[in-house]
Structure 1
Amino acid sequence: MSAEPSDALDGVYAAQTPEELNAAYQRWAETYDRETIALGYCLPFVVTAWVARHVPREAGPVLDVGCGTGLSGPVLAALGYAHVEGLDFSPEMLRLAEARGTYRRLTQATLGETLPFADGAFAALFSTGVFTEGHAPASSMTELARILAPDGKAVLTVRSSILQSGGFEQEFARLEAAKIWREVERSEPFRAFVMAEPEVLVQSFVFERNG
């Protein structure tokens, strides 16, 4: 397969509503892994380096936010994280993630809405490829912070092109000013795809929930 953007990827970027986005992922689910890996999509694997750097294996439950087909799950299992859960809005993607056999539990829910988890339910959470064009809003951060345990870590990637225009930088600053969490690390921009889409740059952020 050529390392060129696919029609499915274009359809995801073009979605204007949550319903359109869900339909785009439903159409893409069965070929998602093959196509994204052929394009050199590396975020589900790269993020595990930040998780391993900041989250001890014995810390407690870790939530894969927007887990999709669950590409990160087997990598974290190999690194010794025994309790990883997944969250996604697409039932088709969750079905594929379940087949990997590495997630303790999978939950269908939509970012930007109230999440079905208790306060402080997770020792850490991570998310890649979710905070990008036409996807989950910056307002999702309030709920993600809520479900983090005190001193818990959030590892997030945000597409550079929407960091300001999408309100992410402002939301990060608001939560820090409110002493809900603090920024621990942010990366320089880097490519989400190592072969295709050279203009798609992201940054990785690590936040720690205040105790």
Structure 2
Amino acid sequence: MATHSSHSRPSQHSQTFSAHFDTRGYPVVDVRTGYAGWVERYEETVEDLMDVDVLASLAVPRWHEAVRAADLGCGTGRTGAWLRGQGVGAVDGVDLTPQMLERARARGAHEKLIEADLAHTGLSGGAYPLVVTSLVDEHLPDLRPLYREAFRLAAPDGLFVLVGLHPQFIMTAGMPTHFTAADGTETAITTHLHYVGDHVAAGLAAGWTLAELREEKVGDAWVARKPKWERYRGVPVSAAYVWRKIS
């Protein structure tokens, strides 16, 4: 899960998670503080089933054809390493949290790493056949700046692939993004709800054309990994959107 910040006004449909659906009652910290505290155990706790396995299931992206990708909210470099493993030529990463970038730098999957807000990455416009964001959107109060920046970065006919927690799962499980702090305290990171329609509206407003939409449900693989999730069987846990920049 990647880190970032947004100072934009929240969209009409954005809801701060804890105000409506939180059944856990964990103390809440901001995104940069949260991921700085989570970095030591992040790789141990994030499941590939949540994001990279969903990316692998998509039909539209031809990963190996991308000579360069922008990895927005690159975190520790998990997504960047996966992209390189699929044959992407080079990957540039952006994240807000220095500690996560330090891990990504040590991993070595990225050609360039930048500490920046995802709404203003500082990367070159029109330079990326592929833009990817993984496990990021629930931390943004407003989706629109992310979609606009991704559109600016994308080359003509380029793709923007976004995968994240499905809003239905967040509401059903009553579970914000959270981690176990060094002192053992379960700690939530500021989480926002964005419905599928909010993504569609933000993407279309930025100029994107929707090419693929996938909702991945809790099934046998998830229950085998987390037996207590049997009660969530059939609930969509991840959502993936593939957008194309029509030239």
Q: Normalised by the size of structure 1, how large is the TM-score? A: 0.76
Relative distance call for 1:23 and 1:173 in structure 2 (3 A) is: same
What is the identity, as a one-letter code, of the residue corresponding to 1:92?
A: Q
Cα drift, residue 87 of structure 1: 1.4
Distance 2:131 2:93 in 1: 10
Structure 1's unaligned 5+ residue stretches are 1-9
Structure 2's unaligned 5+ residue stretches are 1-23, 168-192
Structure 1 segment 1-211 matched on structure 2, within 5 A: 14-15=28-29, 20-37=30-47, 42-50=50-58, 53-111=60-118, 113-132=119-138, 134-135=139-140, 137-139=142-144, 140-161=146-167, 162-164=193-195, 167-175=198-206, 180-191=207-218, 194=222, 195-196=225-226, 198=232, 201-211=237-247
Relative distance call for 1:25 and 1:89 in structure 2 (3 A) is: same
Distance 1:104 1:11 in 2: 40
Cα drift, residue 14 of structure 1: 3.6
Cα drift, residue 32 of structure 1: 0.7
Distance 2:130 2:141 in 1: 19
| Structure number, greater radius of gyration | 2
8 Å CA contact retained: 2:156, 2:245:
yes
Which structure has more relative contact order (CA 8 Å, sep 6+)? It is: 2
What is the identity, as a one-letter code, of the residue corresponding to 1:147?
A: L
8 Å CA contact retained: 1:138, 1:166:
no
What is the identity, as a one-letter code, of the residue corresponding to 1:157?
A: V
Matched residues, number? 189
Relative distance call for 1:165 and 1:181 in structure 2 (3 A) is: closer
Cα drift, residue 147 of structure 1: 0.7
Distance 1:11 1:32 in 2: 21
Cα drift, residue 13 of structure 1: 9.3
Distance 1:204 1:165 in 2: 10
Distance 1:159 1:70 in 2: 18
Percent of aligned pairs with the same amino acid:
25
What is the identity, as a one-letter code, of the residue corresponding to 2:41?
A: T
Relative distance call for 1:41 and 1:88 in structure 2 (3 A) is: farther
- Indicate the RMSD between aligned Cα atoms, in angstroms: 3.0
8 Å CA contact retained: 1:45, 1:71:
no
Q: Runs (4+) of structure 1 moved beyond 6 Å?
A: 10-13
Relative distance call for 1:56 and 1:71 in structure 2 (3 A) is: closer
Relative distance call for 1:109 and 1:48 in structure 2 (3 A) is: farther
Q: Normalised by the size of structure 2, how large is the TM-score? A: 0.66
